[in-house]
Amino acid sequence: MSNPMTVECPTCGAPVEWSAKSPSRPFCSERCKLIDLGAWASEEHAIPGDQVDDELFSGELPPSAH
């Protein structure tokens, strides 16, 4: 029988078994998963890339027709 693969939780560093026993993998818990999601939402985490100028929203938008 082989040992299951383990990884470190990206949030807290706890060991996580990479199997169906760990539904939040690669995170150790739902809490760590939500902490990571919050970091992405608040832009603490970002994927590096070139700055893009967004012409669509750079000026005034016409009033809504509603």
Residues annotated in the binding site for Zn(2+), as ranges? 9, 12, 28, 32
Residues 36 and 11 sit within 8 Å (Cβ to Cβ): yes
Q: What CA–CA distances, in Å, run from 48 to 4, 21, 43, 45? A: 33, 33, 12, 9
Beta bridge partners of 7: 16
Binding-site residue ranges: 9, 12, 28, 32
